Amino acid sequence: MSQHQAYISVDSVIVDYCQESEQSYIHKLRKLFDLAFRGMDNLGIDFFYQIQTFKLPINANLTVTLPPNCLNIVKVGVLNDRGEIISIPSNSKLTTYADLLPDRIAKTQDNTVFNWDISCNGGWYYNYWANGTYSNLYGLPSGAPFIGSYKYDSVNGLIVLDEWFQFPYLMVECLVSPTQGEDYYLPIQFREALIAWIAWMDIRSVPSSRRGNLGDKRDRRAEFYRQRDLAIRQYTPFRVEDAYEESLEQTRMAVKG
């Protein structure tokens, strides 16, 4: 069993299932690998996929084309002089209209409407207006220029930038689709739930006359949901702060009593 601290590899989960079901790991690997990662989606632990960082060029229409294996974005920004990614804020007001067209900017700007959202000083935007107050971006000191903002177009696999973004590149951290043969880990609490998922999916679409009757499929489905609920309860991390607050609350209740 391959284990990394409190995590277990997806490959070892597939091996466990093959041993339990007395099936060939070699012949079933491709199918079971795909089933395992569909199970991670269902369990809500797809954030344990691998995260890759890309330095991407800016298109002429101020969009960025994401790699085809990008499932979701984690962080967007530019680099500072220490090799750190300085995040830029997501802007829900930006439109993805015409983001596939070269004249996107001309089609999405109306110069008759003034932008009241950001304070201006000498042509540079220093502070960001949010929740009724001005605040510095990224924890930088006052006077740091406003870099820009973005919106993620997941349908077209693009990032849309506003007109204030002046850099020739964009750093993007992406959650990428899994590749067979690479190591992926999940919390050990989810091992039995993922095995139960694979066991259910392995026969769900197979005709009952070949392998597994309706009752077996129903039982495997029920076992998966039981193991999933158990894993979620077990995975809830222990927080010292929560225990401390609970202890204080119990003390207060005892004093009142």
What does the pLDDT look like over 103-159, one tens digit per residue?
A: 888 888 876 655 544 444 433 333 444 445 444 444 444 444 568 899 999 999 999
Q: What is the pLDDT of residue 128?
A: 45
∠ CA 88-106-108, rounded to 5°: 60
Q: What is the pLDDT of residue 240?
A: 59
Mean pLDDT confidence for 46-54: 84
- pLDDT greater at residue 161 or residue 69: 161
Tokens standing for residue 97: 């209209």
Alpha-carbon span 113 to 115, nearest angstrom: 7
User: Within the chain, how many helices (H) and strands (E) appear?
Assistant: 6, 13
Q: Is the pLDDT of residue 233 over 90?
A: no
Q: What is the pLDDT of residue 175?
A: 87
Q: What is the pLDDT of residue 33?
A: 93
Mean pLDDT confidence for 71-98: 89
Q: What is the mean pLDDT of the chain?
A: 80
- pLDDT greater at residue 227 or residue 108: 227
Q: What is the pLDDT of residue 113?
A: 57
- pLDDT greater at residue 244 or residue 148: 148
Q: What is the pLDDT of residues 182-218, one digit of tens each?
A: 788 889 999 999 999 999 999 988 876 666 688 889 9
Q: What is the pLDDT of residue 5?
A: 54
Q: Tell me which long-range contacts 98-106 makes (C-beta under 8 A, separation of at least 24).
A: 99/61, 99/63, 99/153, 99/156, 99/158, 99/160, 100/156, 100/158, 101/61, 102/60, 102/61, 103/61, 104/61, 104/62, 104/63, 104/160, 105/61, 105/62, 105/163
| Percentage above 70 pLDDT, the chain | 75
